[in-house]
Structure 1
């Protein structure tokens, strides 16, 4: 590595990475918490609405995150990875990006198709659907959203396992680049 190569991701890239990760964790925590409370309490509805907005937060942060990723080459992993591992790393990272866009968009489409609008918490405002309400189609989109949400667990798990492998087995600089 020459002396001009950055050893860490840019401050923007690190900020977007950890902010998106926080919103993803929040979205999962909120949706998984809905079953902990009786429906009659109204709490599941608040959690579900918060889940929608956490997902929108993921989408809104994923856009500049991707732009920053495309704008700046990631710092190299030292020592360098075997070319096949480097390719696998790129594939899994692009899969993460695909999920960061697909999941929130599917969630938005689910609500728009099922309910006609996404309510803005604490107001009488809502983001209206550009599509006609179609509960059957909304249900189908929700099924895809739920299935991808389950698959996303495994992609996130693979990502975290790779970070642990780099940190504790390979003992390279992968994690240091994002801190």
Structure 2
């Protein structure tokens, strides 16, 4: 389900675009929640912000699973003409690594939060935890901490590439991930 751009290029479907932008918005909320939580002493306020962070993490995990399922069933639109093979390979690698990190981060977060207890999801339900395991918690924390830096770097590269294509190349690449625009 790909629609055409005015220059004969293709764009992602509305569903793919919505999942992309909802995921981006969820990440913009998820990160500050944990930064806020870290600035409160142990207690109900800190617990609330951690619950919000963990719940958004679970939501991102579900969104990424939906995105991967959609991509598996629907091909990506063609690149605009003139995109070099090395740029296509870099884009593919960045997207693949983003998907991997966006799956690993919620899993390791769940392993930390659910280590010996249930994990509340927006106070709507409590997901099951598992038996407490100190070594698993430490390993999950290590991967989670390093994963955040990988996520920052990958998102920065993704945004930088988008800016390059919009401001320098002006090749319409971003249009693939935007709804059709009205005329001038």
TM range (shorter): 0.7 to 0.9
Specify the alignment match of 1:14 in structure 2. 17
Q: When you count helix as a share of all residues, which structure comes out higher?
A: 1
Deviation at 1:160, TM superposition (A): 0.5
Cα distance in 2 for residues equivalent to 1:6 and 1:81? 13
TM-score by length of 2: 0.86
Structure 1 residues 3-59: Cα deviation after superposition (integer angstroms, max 9, x where no partner) = 7976210011001101111111211111111233x3156322111110000000001
TM-score by length of 1: 0.88
Structure 1 residues 40-91: Cα deviation after superposition (integer angstroms, max 9, x where no partner) = 5632211111000000000111111111112222212222311111111111
Helix, strand or coil: the match of 2:119?
strand
Specify the alignment match of 1:167 in structure 2. 166
Cα distance in 1 for residues equivalent to 2:9 and 2:64? 23
Deviation at 1:135, TM superposition (A): 3.0
Query: 5+ unaligned residues in a row in structure 1: which ranges?
Result: none
CA contact 2:10–2:176 (8 Å) conserved in 1: yes
Structure 1 residues 69-116: Cα deviation after superposition (integer angstroms, max 9, x where no partner) = 122222122223111111111111101110111111111111122x42
Paired residues, number: 173
Query: 5+ unaligned residues in a row in structure 2: which ranges?
Result: 179-184
Tell me, yes or no, if structure 1 residue 61 matches structure 2 residue 60: no
Cα distance in 1 for residues equivalent to 2:9 and 2:102? 26
Q: Cα–Cα, structure 1 residues 160 and 64, in superposed 2: closer, same or farther, change >3 Å? A: same
Cα distance in 2 for residues equivalent to 1:75 and 1:64? 18
